[in-house]
Amino acid sequence: MVDVHYTPIIPLLPLVSFALFVLGASVRSWLGKGARLSDQVAYVSVALMGVSWLLALAVAFDVLVLRSGQPYYYAYPWLSVGSVLIRFGFMVDPMSAVMLIVVATVAFGVQWYSLGYIAGDEKQPRFFAYLSLFSSAMLALVVANTLLELFFAWEIMGLASYLLIGFWYEKPAAMRAAKKAFVVTRVGDTFFFIGMLWLVLQTGTTDFANLVLGTAHGGALSATGENAVITGGPYLKALMGTTTLGWIALLIYGGAVGKSAQFPLHVWLPDAMEGPTPVSALIHAATMVAAGVYLVARMYPIFDLAAPLTVLGITFRPLGLVALVGLGTALMAAYIAFSQSDIKRILAYSTISQLGFMFIGLGCGGTVVGENGVRTFLAIGFSAAMFHLMTHAFFKGLLFLGSGSVIHGTGTQDIWKMGGLWRHMRWTAITFLIGYAALAGVAPLAGFWSKDQILEAAWEYNRLIFWGALLGAGMTAFYMTRLWTVAFTGQWSGGEAAATGHQAVGGHGQHDHGHGGHGLPHESPRSMLIPLVALAGLAAVAGFVGLPKANRFGEMVKYVPPPGWLEPAGAVEEHALHLPTPLRMAQAPGGTVPDSPAVPHSSPAEGDSPRPYGAQQLAPEPLQGGALSFPTEEGLPAVGGEAHAGAAHTPAGHHEVDMGLVWRIGLLSTLAALLGILLGASGYRGRRFNFRAPGALTPMESAVYALSLNKFYLDEIYWAILVTPLFWVTRTARAVDQAIIDGLVNGAGLVTRGISVLSRLVDIWVVDGLVNFSGWICGRLGQGLRRLQTGQVQNYVLVVFIGVLLVIAALVPSR
Amino acid sequence: MQITPRDIWNISPHLVVAALGLIILLIDAIWPRISKRQLANLALLGLIGAGALQARFWPRGQVTPVLGGMIVPDGYTAFFNLVLLVGAGISLLLSTDYLEWDGSAHGEYHALVLFTAFGGMVMAAAGHLIVVFLGLEILSISLYILAGYQRERRESQEAALKYFLLGAFASAFFLYGMALVYGYAGSLDLHAIARAAGAGQGAAANQLLLTGIGLLLVGFGFKVAVVPFHIWTPDVYEGAPTSATAFMSVVAKAAGFAAFVRVFALAFPGADLRHQVGAVVASIAMLTMVVGNTAAVLQTNIKRLLAYSSIAHAGYILVGVVAVLRNPAAPAEGVSAVLFYTLAYTFMNLGAFAVVLALRRRGEELLNIEEYAGLGFRYPWLGALMALFMLSLAGMPPTAGFFAKLYLIRAALSPLVGMWWLVITLALTSVVSFYYYIRVVTVMYMRPAVEGEQAPQASAGPHLGTGLALAALGTILLGLIPAGILQAAQQIAEGLVELGGMALR
């Protein structure tokens, strides 16, 4: 029987196919040019991924069903950072199990699809090798048992993503995009790295068994039957309710902002569409970009147990910031998607927008502190975000693969050059339609259920965010309808051949695949369609695991704050006394981890077990503020710790799912979706909206349109405020370095005099000696060393000398 | 002072290396036609022997100074000596093929490498400023000659001369600094200085002492190439024979930091004093990281790129030195971070140079980064290894460079150090560094290869292959299983700190 103990093999198998490729490539280079790696490499890769997929399903099944959510944990000592022992190992809790299913399924589907997509390309083996490397890293990330291991996988994944984006490096744009993606995400990773180190310094552990599960050590996990909820309490005790934890959370969130393309680091993702389309589906829609969401969810106790932070007089809780940035990103990206004409870019902005939704979900969960320091716990946001992550992976993976099929069949990426595909590519169109409807939030497809959960979370947390998110849902429906109507209905407009007046806009006609002139669009090969159909099936039904009345998903994937936390702020200190001291994992070199004092085995939420739905009200008295009040402070949405009055007014006895609320929100979101669809359909049927035609817009309107078309000018702004100055600094540094120097040559006398003012003694002693010495040397140098006689060395000496004076001046107190 | 057999035993690794250098010179003089490859093998053998002798002191070594306090054969010495021996060994492996190709294989090259290593080992073991200076000069003079080793190349001559002129300048400052410190403390023994500086209440305000410390800082700063004493580095790195550049980039840095950290960790114990010196070192570190990393961005020549990169890395290591100086509670953390970083840097930087040394185009060295186009596919192993070294230098997991940076930042993050801006500078400049390291990878993997006569050729003989493999192995192993080395580094660092404490009592 395959059970959880097979976990380590899951990421290993794709790694094996990567290693096979590397070995194969070197064998080939020894054999010479004649020998060629044939397609077999690809089949090996797909087969290994298939096995890995089956194992992932088995492990997930074991954890979710047979062990009913009890995590699997295995680790052995790896290294120590100071007094902190870090163990290398694996952890599969329900959240990881869900991620395993998602990642392995999409990765397998994408590899299968790529068999047809990339067939005949001479770089095919390399493509599969990179894909395998990526899959391996992503799977390892999901089953990592420490933050450090997660970071390792995170970085390798970034590297694989970089290689894949730049796969068609013949296109300079692809190469630039690869580099941009790598460097931009690195900015976030740097924050993540520092946050991780800080966390280690503060808590003495990076182990998820401690930070996440809140157990003393993972080894005994299965024996003691700790339950599956994410809490982390005991180990974070010393930090609970401190701003330190908040800053750590924000730094770690920085990593998520980079990887998950949140404002302001989202700029790399649209450019990453230069990569092959299966890559876009796998990495830049379904898995890697969701890793940021996963990271925040993994580290949820850190985010939740932190105190509100105050920056520039604005108080906010870290999760509130996450929600707010998510909302901003969701709306901005949706707005940009309105005007893009490249099918993949539309989907890319859609992805950014949907990731924003997931962060809204995460941000609208957790604990809020009301007036009087009353803590209220919002249970739903956390699982809603993970739920949306899962459904999004399926339908967005489907949409990207569908767009790949479209590009394959039409030879263009510009939706304005498509049209009428419904007739020509029936299978692609049907599956695309399902994905589109799921994304737009049409009941009962997957996206509807998960989006509604996020909306519910937002409703309970902050009404402004709720209305914003609802607007975002409507916008989503609109831009997807626009895409659908323009590309799939109406008449075929002739592909690349019909390039009339569209060049001005985004579409860099160079298409993915490099096959030449197209006549009518044609359907793609079967190997590409099978994954489409499979994913379409998932996109249609995946939502049923999280129905409001029977939320199997939410019961499994949930976060519960540690005991005592929900008492009024301030009371937590005494209450937490019975918890074990947080722990440096005391260690002797090579020693084992001693068991820390037993963690009380009371399940954190014992007796008052949290429901996946609804706000759990443990506060002694009802919150102030009406349910419909808009708690704002000087116009700012109240993400602040102070004004959460409106966040969760819940009637007494609200431990059951509030079906009334579910219905209301379902209705509202359906209304929004319908509105978006109708607007899009009526506007783009027969291509009535064509804002690009000259004179179609008033100046005011065209400014609004240009904002969307030009992506809020963020690339330009970054270029102006970051890249240009960097290059300026760079040039300056080099100039200073190489030739401070010319100026000094001319001013040598001046400098000498200046120096003599600074230090008469050293002046006489060194400069004179130096000049004499240089003269002596120069006299000896032959014609061959003419360059030296220009005086460069003297000037180097001068630089060193000025440095000496600066050091002395800095060290010695002047009196 | 009496020299006992125990003293000899304690400095046996030093003696073996020095003697071997002399023997090689002799052999080369007596049998000028001997294969230089054999000489290299002999030198390697000697280095391994010295390493074996040195390994007996691993990791705790022996705390009592020998030779009247001149030499301290402790674990710290053992660590750096092993780093230097490994650095010299890999450098020799890398040089052999290159020198044969270049037609400049002479016996003295190997002897000079050994003398340099010897000088570095003396610096690492020195318990007395005079010995530091002695080692510094042995090391430097050998390096001047190595820089000018390709006599027919004008750039090489120029590099040697520049290095020599500026080096002499810096040595003079160092010597002057020693004199001033002597003036204050009445001794050049590190412990005696520590007692004087620790006892004197006004040490932190004593101009004589502070000026002396400042000048010592300049001397070390020059050797390890920190801004603004780095000014020679790009020119010298570019002009020197590539094999010598590889060698000096790691050995001079390791030796410089070995003496730097020991002197500054032991000789100036007063908290105020350390705080003050730490602030200056921190400023230098920041400046070095910024200038090194930004100036590297625009380089087109791989040797110059690595030169600026080495400056940047010196800046990172200085952050560790700041942690040593400004964290009185746990200076060992900073010391161990520096130790680990030096070792990691030795492997990854030598590895990067090994790839450079392996590449040619039409009888020329391949130095222009643009010419690396398509290398990743033409030579999968070389390309992959170069990518590994670049990513390790940039600090990507799972490589040595990642843990090296992790430990540095961790040491500097301690609230006692209180230098957030330094850590932030380190982090931000590391992001900048990704830009230029990844550019090399991008060129190798994302530019079509040049075919035909212009295509780059790789020629890796057995020696170079071995060196490359060792460097790669070190880079990977330190990234995957750093635990053993880390623990040793920690013990060693604690030993050094204890030593400082003992001296004060």
B294 in A contact zone (CB under 8 Å) = yes
- Asked whether residue A747 carries a pLDDT value surpassing 70, the answer given is no
pLDDT score at A618: 35
Report the gap between the CA of B352 and the closest CA in chain A (Å). Answer: 19
Omega before A444 within 30 of 0, i.e. cis? yes
pLDDT one-digit tens code per residue, A61-113: 888 888 777 778 787 777 766 667 778 888 888 888 889 999 998 889 888 88
Q: What is the pLDDT of residue B84?
A: 95
Q: Is the pLDDT of residue A643 over 80?
A: no
Q: How far, CA to CA in Å, does A713 sit from each of A552, A699, A708, A717, B227?
A: 43, 18, 9, 6, 38
Burial class from Cβ neighbours inside 10 Å (0-12, 13-18, 19+) for residue A28 reads: middle
Contact B228 A800 (CB under 8 A): yes
Q: Which residues contact B274 (CB under 8 A, 6 or more apart)?
A: B268, B325, B326, B328
- Measured CA to CA, the distance from residue B143 to residue A116 in angstroms comes to 59
- Mean pLDDT throughout A3-11? 84
Token couple for A454: 């996020």
**Which residue type, as a one-letter code, is found at position A431?**
T
| Cβ-contact A405, A428 below 8 angstroms | yes
Q: Tell me which residue in B158, B232, B279 faces A796 most closely, judged by beta carbons.
A: B232
pLDDT higher than 90, residue B112? yes
**What value does the mean pLDDT take over residues A473-480?**
87
> Which among B161, B291, B409 has CB closest to A197?
B409
Query: Mean pLDDT score of chain A, rounded to an integer?
Result: 72
- Out of A38-47, A270-279, B258-267, which region has the weakest mean confidence (pLDDT)? A38-47
Whose tokens are 């270029």? That residue is: A719
3-state SS assignment for residue A633: strand
Rounded Cα distance, A281 and A401, in Å: 6
Check residue A574 and give its pLDDT: 40
Instruction: Measure CB to CB from residue B157 to each of A183, A194, A785 and give the nearest one.
Output: A785
Q: What pLDDT is attached to residue A247? A: 87
* Closest approach of B248 to chain A, Cα-based (Å): 20
Q: What pLDDT does residue A112 have?
A: 85
Least confident range from A307-311, A544-548, A704-708, B396-400: namely: A704-708
How confident is the model at residue A733, as a pLDDT? 61
Q: How confident is the model at residue A592 (pLDDT cuts 50, 70, 90)?
A: very low
- Nearest chain B residue to A82 by CA distance is B333
pLDDT at A29 over 90: no
Residue A780 CB neighbours (<10 A): 9
Q: Do residues A639 and A327 make contact, with C-beta atoms less than 8 angstroms apart?
A: no
Interface test with B, best of A807, A814, A815 (most B CBs within 10 A): A807
pLDDT at A506 over 60: no
- Does residue B430 belong to the interface with chain A, where contact is any CB pair within 8 Å? yes
Terminal CA-CA length for chain A:
81
Q: Is B329 on the interface with A (CB under 8 A)?
A: no
Q: How confident is the model at residue A441 (pLDDT cuts 50, 70, 90)?
A: confident
Task: Tell me the three state secondary structure of residue B189.
Answer: strand
Lowest mean pLDDT among A477-486, A591-600, B283-292: A591-600
**In the predicted model, what is the mean pLDDT of residues B256-273?**
88
From the list A230, A231, A233, A235, the residue with the least C-alpha distance to A202 is A235
Residues A35-57, mean pLDDT to the nearest whole number: 80
Q: Could you tell me which residue, A555 or A151, shows the higher pLDDT?
A: A151
- Give whole-number Cα distances, A504 to A340, A501, A518, A706, B285, in Å: 12, 7, 22, 13, 49
The C-alpha of A59 sits at a distance from chain B's nearest C-alpha, in angstroms, of 26
Confidence (pLDDT) at B245: 94
Q: Yes or no: say if B54 and B81 are a contact pair by the CB < 8 Å rule.
A: yes
For B328-377, write each residue's pLDDT tens digit.
Answer: 777 888 899 999 999 999 999 999 999 999 988 877 888 888 888 888 88
Q: Which residue has the higher pLDDT, B480 or B418?
A: B480
Report pLDDT for A746: 47
Instruction: Please tell me the predicted confidence (pLDDT) of residue A594.
Output: 37
Residues 23-42 of B with CB under 8 A from A: none
Which of B13, B199, B243, B240 lies closest to B110 in space, CA to CA? B243
The pLDDT assigned to B130 comes to 93
The answer to whether A169 touches A175, Cβ cutoff 8 Å, is: yes
Residue of B nearest to A85 (CA): B483
CB B450 within 8 A of CB B377: no
Higher pLDDT, A412 or A11: A11
The answer to whether the CB of B308 falls within 8 A of the CB of B296 is yes
- pLDDT of A503: 37
For chain B, the distance separating the N- and C-terminal CA atoms, rounded to the nearest angstrom, is 24
CB–CB of A703/A252 below 8 Å? no
Confidence at residue A496, expressed as pLDDT on a 0 to 100 scale: 64
| Domain segments of chain B as ranges | 5-504
| Alpha carbon distances (Å) from B488 to A140, A426, A454, A663, B497 | 30, 66, 51, 64, 14
- Whether the pLDDT of residue A635 is over 50: the answer is no
> How far, CA to CA in Å, does A628 sit from each of A25, A505, A620, B273, B294?
64, 44, 22, 62, 53
Mutate to test the interface with A, among B325, B442, B477, B491 (most CBs of A within 10 A): B442
pLDDT of residue A683: 74
B55 touches chain A (CB under 8 A): no
Has residue A779 got a pLDDT over 60?
no
Check: CB of residue B197 under 8 Å from CB of residue B268: yes
∠ CA(B102), CA(B103), CA(B105), 5° rounding?
100
Chain A residues touching residue B413 (CB < 8 angstroms): 194, 197-198, 201
The residue-averaged pLDDT of A252-273 equals: 86
- Chain A residues with CB under 8 Å of B391 CB are 159
User: What is the β-pairing status of strands A314-316 and A309-311?
Assistant: antiparallel
Least confident among A5-9, A688-692, B159-163: A688-692
Contact (CB<8Å) B294/A726 = yes
Say yes or no for a CB contact (<8 Å) between B397 and A155: yes
Q: Quick: pLDDT tens for A597-606.
A: 333 333 333 3
> Which uninterrupted H or E stretch holds A91?
strand A84-92
Q: Give the pLDDT confidence score for residue A214 in this predicted structure.
A: 63
pLDDT band at A688 (very low <50, low <70, confident <90, very high): low
B chain contacts of residue A808, beta-carbon cutoff 8 Å: 210-211, 214-215
- Residue in A162, A726, A788 closest to B158 by CB: A788
Tell me which residues of chain B, numbers 365 to 404, contact chain A at a CB-CB cutoff of 8 Å. Answer: 377-381, 384, 391, 396-398, 402-403
Asked which of A464-478, B48-62, B149-163 is least confident by mean pLDDT, the reply is B48-62
| Rounded CA separation A159/A172 (Å) | 19
B297 vs A: CB within 8 A: yes
Which contiguous run of DSSP H or E holds residue B246?
Answer: helix B242-266
pLDDT at A771: 52
State which residue of chain A sits closest to B448, comparing Cα positions: A170
Query: Residue B29 to residues B23, B26, B55, B103, B265: CA-CA distances in angstroms?
Result: 10, 5, 32, 18, 43
What is the pLDDT, as a whole number, of residue B86?
A: 95
Residue type, A767: V
8 Å CB contact between A294 and A341: no
Confidence check on the interface: ipTM exceeds 0.90, yes or no? no
Amino acid at A689: F
| Helix, strand, or coil (residue B143) | helix
| CB-based contact, B211 to chain A, within 8 Å | yes
Q: Nearest to residue A579, comparing CAs of A302, A227, A238, A248?
A: A238
| Inter-chain residue contact B232 with A187, CB threshold 8 Å | no
Per-residue pLDDT reduced to its tens digit, B151-193: 888 888 888 988 998 899 899 999 999 999 999 888 899 888 8
CA-based nearest distance A611→chain B, Å: 40
- What is the average pLDDT across A541-545? 83
Pairwise pLDDT comparison (A752 vs A244), residue with the higher score = A244
Q: CB atoms < 10 A from the CB of A733, how many?
A: 21
- The pLDDT value given to residue A579: 34
Closest CA to A89 of A76, A102, A100: A76
Mean pLDDT within A712-730: 69
pLDDT mean over A657-669: 79
Contact state of A182 with B434 under an 8 Å Cβ cutoff = yes
Listed residue (A477, A389, A358, A457) closest to A665, CA to CA: A457
CB atoms within 10 A of CB A694: 7
Mean pLDDT is highest, among A655-659, A781-785, B425-429, for B425-429
Find which of A706-720, B185-199, B472-486 is predicted with most confidence, using mean pLDDT.
B472-486
CB environment A511-534: b (16+ within 10 A), e (fewer): bbeeeeebeebebbeeebbebbeb
Contact between chains at B210 and A156 (C-beta distance less than 8 A) = no
User: Which range in B81-90, B361-370, B440-449 is most confidently predicted, on average pLDDT?
Assistant: B81-90
Residue A478 structure tokens? 């609109």
